[in-house]
Amino acid sequence: MAKAKKGKGKTSVKAKPARAGRAAGRKPKKAAQGTGSAVAAANKRIATLEAENRRLREELTELRARIAERPAPAPAPGAGQAALEL
């Protein structure tokens, strides 16, 4: 069996030149994007922590105000005085 000859037709696509500096011309990859659900969860956690922080600060100011309202405790008898023994 004889092989059929390939016809020499005109090629419409030009040959691409070899890429110069292939290793040096690579573009850096973009940083991975965070998923939407992870970002939403982080924002929710931040909001929760900020609310708790606010609540604790209010509680602190309330407790400090209670301490300031109390009268100073009376000193115990004989406290702060040196014993006089001869």
Host domain of residue 64:
36-70
Range of lowest pLDDT (15-19, 61-65, 75-79) = 15-19
Residue 12 gets which letter from DSSP?
S
pLDDT at 9: 67
Global confidence as pTM: 0.43
Does the structure show a pLDDT above 70 at 29? yes
Q: Are 58 and 52 in contact (CB under 8 A)?
A: no
Cα distance between residue 54 and residue 60, in whole Å = 10
Considering the domain boundaries, does residue 51 fall inside one? yes
Residue 53 gets which letter from DSSP?
H
Cα distance between residue 83 and residue 12, in whole Å = 116
Cα distance between residue 33 and residue 39, in whole Å = 10
Q: What percent of the chain has pLDDT over 90?
A: 37
Considering the domain boundaries, does residue 14 fall inside one? no
Residue 83: band (very low, low, confident or very high) from pLDDT cuts 50, 70, 90: low
Considering the domain boundaries, does residue 45 fall inside one? yes
Domain count, the chain: 1
Considering the domain boundaries, does residue 11 fall inside one? no
Instruction: Read off the tokens for 65.
Output: 């105000």
Considering the domain boundaries, does residue 40 fall inside one? yes
Instruction: Read off the tokens for 29.
Output: 């990859």
